[in-house]
Amino acid sequence: MVINSLQKRLSLLVLLPVVLLLLLIGVFGFIYMRETLFSEWQEMSIVKLQRAAHQIDMKLGRITDWLQLFHHTSDDRGGPLIQQWILEQLRGMKGVEKAELKWEKGHEPASGMMGMGMGMGMGSGGSSQEMPMMHFKRGHPFEVTSPYYDAETGKETVKLVSLLKDESDKVVGSLEVTVPFDYLLEGVKKFGWWQTEQACLIDNAGKYLCHTKLVMKKGLLFGGTDDPFERALFKAIKEKPYGTVLGPGVPPDAVGGFYRLKYAPWSVVLFAEGDKVLAPLIHFRNYYFAGGILAILIILLLIRSVVGGMVHSFTAISKTAGQVAKGDYGEPIPFRGRDEIAQLTQSFNTMVEGLKERDFIANTFGRYVDQGIAKELMKRPEASRLGGENREVSILMSDIRGFTPLSETLPPEKIINFLNRYFSGLIRVIEAHHGIIVDFFGDAILVFFDPFDEPVKPMIQKAVQCAFAMQDGMSEFNREIHFENLPSLQMGIGINAGEVVVGNIGSETRAKYGIVGSPVNLTQRIQSMAEEGEVVISDSVYRHVQEDVRVIREFRTTLKGVQNETTLYAVGAIEPSNLH
C-alpha cells in the first residue's frame, strides 16, 4: 500500500504533466512538419518535372527550328536548293531516323525541278538560269504523333509532321521527320527519380505513352478510372500548364504533380504515396516517442532514488516475488541492520530458498519421482549439475493400442480428463516399484529403473514386476470406463536393459533428470512389437528373469537401427514372491 501510494502521487505530480507536454509538442510538431513536407514535395516535383519536360522539348525544339526554317523558304528565291539542304541537315541530325518530303497527288513539283535545285545550273551563254521553286503557304509548323511501332526500323517512333498548304489553304504536301521514342526519353531515363519513383508520360487524351513501372494500363486512359484522385489530377492537367494535386484524406493518401511540354501535346506526371512522402516524419515520430519513453524512465529512476531505502526494500521484495512467480528465484535479497524490514527480507529469503529447493527436485527429477528416490539422488554430487555418467539401467515404455481413433471421437477436454485418470493409476504403480518417469509422449510413458551403485538385476526384475502391475491396473481402468460407455483399451509394454547416460539434460536454467542412449530408442521399438495386453522383453532382460517368467511367444524380428535380427519374448505374469 505504501509503494502504491507513493508511486501514484509521484506519477500524478511528475509524470502526468511531462507526458501531456510531450504529447502536445508531438502532435503540433507532427502537423506542422507534415504540411512542410508536402509543400516541399510539391515544389521539388515541379522542378523535377520541369527538367524532364525540358529534356524532351530541347530535342523536339532542335527539329522544330529546322521545320520553321523550311517554312520560311516557301517564297524565297533559291528555295528548292535551301529546302533540299534543310532536308539533308534534318537527315543528319542525331536521333532522326527519316526526314521525308511528301506531295499530294497532282501537286508534285515539275519534272527535274529537284534536280535543278541541287546546283547552280548555267546556260550555254554563261548566264544564270532562274531556279524553279516549290510554292506553298506557310501553315502550322508541325504536329507530333503518339508513339507507334515502325516495322521498317523495328522501333517505337514518333513523327513530327509539318503540313504544306497552298494559297487556298489546301494541303499540297507534308514534311515528316521520324524520331525514335527512346531517343526523346534518353535523358529523362537517366534521372534517378525517374527510375525509382512512379511517373508517366501521357498525351492530351490521357493515353499512356510510357510508365516507369512498366505497367501500361492497357485499354484504360489516365483519368478514365473510378479513382477520384486520378480524375482530379487529369482535370488539372487540362486546365493548367503545370501544378500539383493532393489526394483525399488527412494526411493525403497520395500526391501528384504534372508539367506540360511545349513542343508536343504531352504531359509528364509524377505520383507518390502519402506514407512515402511522410516517411522521414514517421521515423522522427518513432524516435520522438522513444525519447519520450526514455525521459519517463529517467524520471522513474529519480523517483526511486527520492523514496529512499525503505521503499527500495519493499520494491525489491515485490520484484523478487514476481520473479519467483515466473520460476526465476535469482539471488537472495541483500539487507542490512536488524530492524523489522531486515527481518522481513530475511524471512522472505528463507521462504524463497525453500521454494527453490522444492522446485529443483520437481524440475530436475520430475513431479512423479518417488520422494525417497529424489532424496537419494540429491545426495549424489552429479545430481545438481549438468551432465551424467554411464550406467546400466532397466527401461520400460508403454503405449495404449487404438487410442488415436478413440481420441478423434471425443472432445479435447474429455481426452485430457481421460489421460489424466489413466496416467494417475500408472504413476502410483511406477512409484511403488521405484521407477523414475522420464517423460510422457501423448498416451505413452517412458520409465527407467536406476540401480545406482547396486547390481542391475533387481531393478530389471522390478521393471518386469511393474509392467505386469500396470497391465493389471489397465483391467481395473477398463472396468471404470465401461460405465461411461467408453470402449475397453489395451496397453502394450516393452522392456529393455542396457548402458545409457544418466544425468541432468538441459541448461543451467532448466534441466531434467533423464537418460540418453541407443537402448532408449530400442525400447520404443520393442514396445511397438507388443500386441494388446502383452509385455515384450529383450534378450538382455530375459537373461535375468528367464527362470521367473512364462514365455507366451518367442520371435525374431529386425528392429530399425539394428543390423541383425533381434530375439524378443512376450512373457506372462510371474508371482511376486519369485522375484528377489
Here the CATH number for the domain that contains residue 401 is: 3.30.70.1230
Whether residues 282 and 408 share a domain: the answer is: no
User: Span 520-542, mean pLDDT?
Assistant: 93
pLDDT at 126 over 80: no
d(CA 461, CA 455): 11
**pLDDT for 135:** 59
Statement to judge: residues 502 and 541 lie in one domain: yes
Tell whether 324 and 271 lie within a shared domain: no
Residues 19 and 80 in one domain: yes
Domain count, the chain: 3
| 125 within some domain | no
Which one is predicted more confidently, 385 or 342?
Answer: 342
Question: Quick check: 530 and 444 in contact, CB under 8 A?
Answer: no
Q: What is the pLDDT of residue 140?
A: 57
Indicate if 337 and 226 belong to the same structural domain: no
Q: Look at the block and give the residue holding cell 515544389.
A: 43
pLDDT tens-digit series, residues 453-467 = 889 999 999 999 999
Q: What is the CA radius of gyration of the chain?
A: 48
- Is the model's pLDDT at 184 over the cut of 70? yes
Angle (deg, nearest 10), helices 279-307 and 309-325? 120
Kindly list the distances between the CA atom of residue 373 and the CA atoms of 83, 96, 390, 434, 463, in Å, as whole numbers in the listed order.
114, 98, 19, 7, 15
Residues in Cβ contact with 434 at an 8 Å cutoff, skipping those fewer than 6 apart? 370, 372, 373, 449, 459, 462
Residues 427, 569, single domain; the answer is yes
How does 226-240 read in b/e, with b if 16+ C-beta sit within 10 Å? eeebbebbbebbeee
Mean pLDDT across 81-93: 84
At 370 the pLDDT is: 53
- Determine, yes or no, domain membership for 162: yes
What pLDDT was estimated at residue 462?
93
Q: How confident is residue 365, by pLDDT bands cut at 50, 70 and 90?
A: low
pLDDT at 316: 73
Q: What is the pLDDT of residue 263?
A: 84
Q: Are residues 489 and 509 in the same domain?
A: yes
- Residue 112 burial (CB count, 10 A): 9
The residue segments making up the domain with residue 329 are: 293-358
Confidence of residue 120 (pLDDT cuts 50, 70, 90): very low
Q: Is residue 120 part of a domain?
A: no
pLDDT-based confidence at residue 167 (cuts at 50, 70, 90): confident
Q: Which three cell numbers stand for residue 122?
A: 548555267
Computed over every residue of the chain, the mean pLDDT equals 77
Shared-domain flag, residues 148 and 236: yes
Per-residue pLDDT, averaged over 294-318, amounts to 69
User: Distance (Å, rounded) from C-alpha 497 to C-alpha 393?
Assistant: 6
Q: For residue 474, tell me if it sits in a domain.
A: yes
**DSSP H or E segment with residue 203:** strand 198-203
- Is the predicted pLDDT of residue 446 greater than 90, yes or no? yes
Dihedral of alpha carbons 428, 432, 433, 436, sign? positive
Looking at residue 125, its pLDDT comes to 35
Same domain, 436 and 370: yes
What would the grid cell of residue 208 be? 499512356
Q: Is the pLDDT of residue 121 over 60?
A: no
pTM over 0.75: no
Domain boundary among the residues 292, 316, 332 is at: 292
- pLDDT for 305: 64
Please indicate, yes or no, if residue 196 is contained in any of the structural domains: yes
Q: Residue 173 pLDDT more than 70? A: yes
Task: With a cut of 60, say whether residue 118 has pLDDT above it.
Answer: no
pLDDT digits (tens, 9 = 90+) for 187-228: 877 777 766 778 888 888 888 888 777 555 566 788 777 888
The x, y and z cell numbers of residue 155, run together, are: 522501333
Residue whose grid cell is 545550273: 121
The pLDDT value given to residue 113? 46
Same domain (yes/no): 552, 454: yes
Residues 267, 243 contacting (CB under 8 angstroms): no
Instruction: Please report whether residue 111 resides in a domain.
Output: no
Residue 123 has pLDDT above 50, yes or no: no
The pLDDT confidence band at residue 295, using thresholds 50, 70 and 90, is confident
Split at pLDDT 50, 70, 90, the class of 318 is: confident
Predicted local distance difference test score (pLDDT) of residue 387: 63
Q: Give the single-character DSSP code of 122.
A: B
Task: With a cut of 50, say whether residue 130 has pLDDT above it.
Answer: no
Q: Is residue 22 part of a domain?
A: yes
Average pLDDT for 357-368: 57
318 and 273 in a common domain? no
State yes or no: pLDDT of 539 exceeds 70.
yes
Cα separation, 212 vs 95, in Å, equals 22
Instruction: Locate 139 and state its grid cell.
Output: 501553315
Q: Is residue 242 predicted with pLDDT exceeding 80?
A: yes
- Using one digit for the tens of pLDDT, what is the confidence trace for 461-512? 999 999 999 999 988 888 888 888 778 889 999 999 999 998 877 766 666 7
Q: Which residues have a Cβ under 8 Å from the Cβ of 9 and sit 6 or more positions away? A: none
- Assess if residue 82 is contained within a domain: yes
Instruction: Assess whether 217 and 306 both reside in one domain.
Output: no
User: Among 252, 272, 292, where does a domain finish?
Assistant: 292
Instruction: Please report where in the chains the cell 511522410 appears, as a residue.
Output: 278
Domain end, chosen from 306, 338, 358, is at 358
Q: Give CA–CA dist 349/351, Å, rounded.
A: 5
